[in-house]
Structure 1
Amino acid sequence: MTLPEPFDSIELPLHDRRLGKVRVSYAFGSGQRLFVTTDRLSAFDRIIARVPYKGQVLNQLAAWWFEQTADIVPNHVVSLPDPNVLVAREAAPLSVEVVVRGHISGVTDTALWTQYSAGARSIYGHQFPDGLAKNTALPEPIITPTTKGDFGEHDVPLAIQDVVADGHVDRDVWDQVGAAALAVFERGRERAAAGGLILADTKYEFGLDATGAVMLIDEVHTPDSSRYWVADTYEEQLAAGREPQSLDKEVVRRALADVGYTGEGDVPELPAEVWEQTSARYIETYERLTGLTFERATYPAEQRIIDAVSALEIPA
C-alpha cells in the first residue's frame, strides 16, 4: 500500500477556512460549515503522521453514528455529499469536552488507572471501590470532563462539580449534556458489542445551536475519539497480563513506545507498515460497527467539492 500524498488544504472561492487536526473546515454565511477530511493523525500531541483512508473512515463513520443516536440528542450533520465531505450546522462549542469511561485504563499521569494504582480512590469527583484491575469494567460508566483547547489549555481534567461551579457550563445545560453523553455511550456500547467490539471509553463534544439548544457536534465513536477493544480476545489478553487488542490509534502510541519514545525529545520515524496496519484497523472498526464494506475513494479535487457545494445550494 502506498501512502497518499499530503493533502493540507484547498481554497474555495469566497469562503473562510479554518485548519483542524483532522479536517479542513469552511464556514458559510448560511449557518452551515463544510468539513473536508485529511489523513492527518496526532499522537502524544507531538507527532503528525498520515494514515491511509483515515479521514474517510472518520467522516463516514461519524455520520453513521450521528444517525444511530439522533433519537437521543440532536446533532449538527446536514448531509454527506461525498465520502470525504460533510456539511454540518454551525454550533457554539461548549468549553468542556465530555469523556465517558466504561473501563479503568490508561497509562498517562492523568489516567484513571495511573491514579488508582497509586492508591487514589477519589478521582475527578468520583469514588472508586477497592479491587479494580487494570482494563476491567467500572461498576458503571462515569463522566470525567476535560477543558477544550479552543478556550485555554487543552485536556485538563475537571471534577464534575467544577464544571458548573467554575462557570464552564450552566447547570441546566450540563444536566442535558451529562444525560445525553451517558445515553449515547450506552448506545455505542450496544452497537460495538454487536460488531464484536468493546467500547472502553470515548470523548464527546457538545455545542449550542442558534436557539441555545444542546446538540452533539464534532465526531462520534470513531477510532480517534474512542477506545475500542476486540471482544473475543479481551479475556485472554487480560489473563496473560497483556493490553487488550486495540482497533484505534493506540497502535501508533504503542509502536512509538516500542522504540523507546516517551513523549520527550525528537519523534522517531516509524516504518510505513505501522501506518498501513493502523489504516487496516480503522477500516476494520468501520466495517465491524456498520456492517458495511468500506469503499475507498480518492480525495476530492477542488472542482469536485465546489460541485458538491453547488448541488446543496449553499449561498456564498
Structure 2
Amino acid sequence: MRILEEAVIRELPNYYRGKVRENYDLPDGSRIIISTDRISAFDRILTCIPYKGQVLTQTARYWFEQTADICPNHVISYPDPNVVIGKRLDILPVEIVVRGYLAGTTGTSILTLYKKGERQMYGITLPDGLRDNQKLPEPIITPTSKAFDGGHDEPLTPDEIVEKKLLTSEQWQTLSKYALALFKRGQEIAAKHGLILVDTKYEFGTDAEGNIILADEIHTPDSSRYWITESYGASFERSTRPASFDKDFVRAWVVERCDPYKDDIPEIPEKLVMDTSDVYIRAYEQITGKTFVPDNSENTPLERVRKNLEPYFTGA
C-alpha cells in the first residue's frame, strides 16, 4: 500500500502539523499545504487511507477551477498531486455551512435542532411539517463560531455575527453571496453527474489587502454531504437515508469496539482500510466525471513529494 503517513521535510521553513495536513509558511507570504493520507476522528488520528490525500487535493482542485469565476480562492499552484501552494490567509472566525436539505447528525445540524422542536435557528424560520432529508424551499446558510482553541462550534445568527464583531456587515454580505453562489454551482454540476450536493462547509480568510478569499477545500467528500440521485426518491418515501459516499466506515467500526475518546484504538483491518480507499476514489470519479489516476512515480509518495518541492527548499 502506497501511503503518505506524514510529510516532515526539514528543508522547508516554518512547519506546522495539522491533523491531516502538513503546512509550511514561505517567506513570500504563501503556504505549502500537503494533504497526507491520515484520517482523523474523535480528536485523534485513526489510521491512513491509501490515496486519500491525493483524492481530496484533486477533488478540491476540480472545484476551485469550476468556481474561480464566482470568488477568488487561495490556490497559487499544484506542484504535486498531494500539494497545493496557496496564499497565506487570516482565517475568518465564522464557519459557513450551506444546506439544501433537512439533514445532518451533529448537535448543530438543522435536522437535530428541528427534531427538538426548534423552528427558528441561525436567524431563519423553518416551516412545520418537514420530514427527514426533505429538500428545503431554498438553500440556507447556517453559520457557527469557529473554535480555534479546540472548543465546540456554536450556532450564530447574522445579527450576532455583526454584533459580536466577528465580521463586519460588509464581510457577512460578501460571504453570504459567495457561499450561496458556490453552492448553487456545486449543485448544478453535481446533478449532471448523478449526485445531490446536500450540504457543504466553506472556510474563508482575508489576504494582506483585506480581500475575502476561499480557503482550505471545497465540495470534497470530507467537507460535503453527497447523495446518489437515483436513490433519493425511494429512500425519502421509505424515510431511510439516501445512498451516499459515506466517509464514516472507519469511524463507525471504531465506535462499535471501544470508547474512542478514552480507550486505545484497535488496529484497523486492512480490508476496511482498502474499502475506504475505494470509496474515496469512487467519490472523486463520480463528483468530477474523471478517472482517478494515482501518481505512483518514485519509490514512495514522500519521495515524490520531496522531489516536487525541491524548488522551495531553503536549507533550513
- AA in 1 matched with 2:169: R
Q: Greater shift after overlay, 68-77 or 106-115? A: 106-115
User: Residue deviations 1:197-235, cap 9 Å, x none?
Assistant: 111110000011111111100000001100111111122
Q: Which residue of 1 aligns with 2:186?
A: 188
Q: Does the 8 A contact of 1:96 with 1:168 survive in 2? A: yes
Partner of 2:36: 38
> 1:112 & 1:208 partners in 2: Cα distance?
28
User: What is the rounded CA distance, in whole Å, between the counterparts of 1:262 and 1:114 in structure 2?
Assistant: 23
Change (3 A) 1:267 1:157: farther
Greater displacement, 16-25 / 291-300 = 291-300
Q: Does the CA-based 8 Å contact 2:19-2:44 persist in structure 1? A: no
- The aligned residue for residue 295 of structure 1 is 293
Gaps of 5+ in 2: none
In structure 2, distance between residues paired with 1:18 and 1:289: 30
Distance 1:201 1:57 in 2: 19
* Greater mean alpha carbon deviation, residues 306-315 or residues 228-237: 306-315
AA of the residue aligned to 2:220: T
Name the SS of the counterpart of 1:78 in structure 2.
strand
Residue equivalent to 1:308 = 308
Alpha-carbon RMSD across the aligned residues, in angstroms, is: 2.5
Give the drift of 1:103.
Answer: 0.9
* Corresponding position of 1:137: 135
Which residue does 1:67 correspond to in 2? 65
Partner of 2:263: 266
1:44-73 Cα deviation digits (max 9, x unpaired): 445533222111011111111111111000
Q: Distance in 2 between matches of 1:124 and 1:54?
A: 33
Would the aligned equivalents of 1:29 and 1:315 in 2 still touch at CA under 8 Å? no
Distance in 1, matches of 2:108 and 2:257, equals 21
CA separation of 1:209/1:315 partners in 2, compared to 1, >3 Å: closer, same or farther? farther
Matches within 5 A, 1:1-316: 2=1, 4=2, 7-45=5-43, 48-150=46-148, 153-256=151-254, 259=256, 265-266=262-263, 269=266, 270-298=268-296, 300-301=301-302, 304-311=304-311
Tell me which moved more, 116-125 or 196-205: 116-125
Are the structure 2 counterparts of residues 6 and 67 from structure 1 closer, same or farther at C-alpha, using a change threshold of 3 Å? closer
Instruction: Specify whether residues 156 and 230 from structure 1 end up closer, same or farther in structure 2 by C-alpha distance, changes over 3 A only.
Output: same
Q: 1:150 aligns to what SS in structure 2?
A: coil
The DSSP-based 3-state class of the residue aligned with 2:103 is coil
1:301 to partner: Cα distance = 3.0
- Cα displacement (A) at 1:240: 2.9
Percent identical: 45
User: SS at 2:309's partner residue?
Assistant: helix
Q: Is the 8 A contact 2:35 2:57 kept in 1?
A: yes
Whether the 8 Å CA contact 2:11–2:313 is kept in 1: the answer is no
- Structure 1, unpaired ranges of 5+: none
Paired with 1:40 and 1:283, the residues of 2 have a C-alpha distance of 15
Helix, strand or coil: the match of 1:149?
Answer: coil
After superposition, the C-alpha distances for 1:60-114 in whole angstroms (9 at most, x for unaligned) are 1111111111100000101112111111111111011101111111223332112
User: What is the distance in 1 between the residues matched to 2:235 and 2:250?
Assistant: 19
| SS of match in other structure, 2:283 | helix
TM-superposed CA distance for 1:138, in Å, is 1.0
Distance, in Å, in 2 between the alignment partners of 1:102 and 1:151 is 29
* 3-state SS, counterpart of residue 220 of structure 2: coil
163-172 or 35-44: which moved more?
35-44
Q: Any conservation in 1 of the 2:13–2:314 contact (CA below 8 Å)?
A: no
Letter in 2 for 1:153: G
TM-score, normalised by the number of residues in structure 2: 0.90
**More displaced 10-residue stretch of structure 1: 34-43 or 199-208:** 34-43
Give the residue type in structure 2 aligned to 1:207. Answer: G
Query: Are 1:22 and 1:37, in contact at CA under 8 Å, matched by a contact in 2?
Result: yes
Q: Is the 8 A contact 1:56 1:84 kept in 2?
A: yes
Letter in 2 for 1:185: F
| Residue-pair matches, total | 312
Counterpart AA for 2:291? T
Structure 2: distance between partners of 1:74 and 1:170:
19
Contact 1:81–1:308 (Cα < 8 Å) also in 2: yes
CA contact (8 A) 1:25 1:33 kept: yes
Tell me how far apart the structure 2 counterparts of residues 307 and 272 of structure 1 sit (CA, whole Å): 29
